[in-house]
């Protein structure tokens, strides 16, 4: 909910302009590069073998598209690593993993749920 008591300069714009869209893409690209550079080498290799992006939706979301069921399982086994890195950008971030077409529903996880996926 937007606080109407804020000064007009602090409120979001009424209309999104092309400039706003360009700035959003620039920010997403910067976060994506920073996120990737902070991942371990094996995690970087795994990401490079998939299509992925980061969206600064509400909340920040890491979206990964897996090309095979094997890659899907490898990605799912690295969820805690992804969550730990993503936490640097937003403690309310999410990760959404799409399996290959026809191989099931996407897996969606809030990063604050990562402790449930950690090995003991």
Which H or E run contains 20?
helix 18-38
What is the distance between the alpha carbons of residues 73 and 26, in angstroms, rounded to a whole number?
31
Q: Which two tokens stand for residue 34?
A: 């920073």
Half-sphere exposure of 116 toward its Cβ, with a 13 Å CA cutoff?
5
Query: What's residue 120's pLDDT?
Result: 47
pLDDT over 90 (residue 57): no
The pLDDT assigned to 22 comes to 92
How sure is the predictor about 89, in pLDDT bands with cuts at 50, 70 and 90?
Answer: confident
Residue range 43-66: average pLDDT?
93
Give the mean model confidence (pLDDT) for residues 25-53. 93
The residue ranges of DSSP E strands in 1-120, in sequence order, are: 51-55, 61-65, 94-98, 107-110
Between 36 and 5, name the one with better pLDDT: 36
């Amino acid at each position: 909910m937007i606080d109407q008591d804020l000064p007009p300069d602090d409120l979001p714009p009424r209309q999104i302009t092309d400039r706003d869209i360009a700035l959003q893409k620039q920010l997403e690209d910067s976060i994506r590069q920073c996120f990737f550079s902070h991942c371990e080498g094996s995690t970087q290799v795994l990401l490079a073998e998939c299509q992925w992006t980061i969206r600064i939706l509400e909340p920040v979301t890491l979206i990964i598209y897996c090309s095979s069921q094997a890659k899907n399982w490898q990605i799912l086994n690295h969820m805690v690593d992804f969550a730990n890195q993503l936490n640097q950008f937003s403690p309310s971030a999410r990760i959404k993993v799409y399996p290959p077409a026809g191989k099931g529903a996407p897996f969606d996880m809030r990063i604050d749920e990562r402790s449930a996926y950690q090995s003991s």
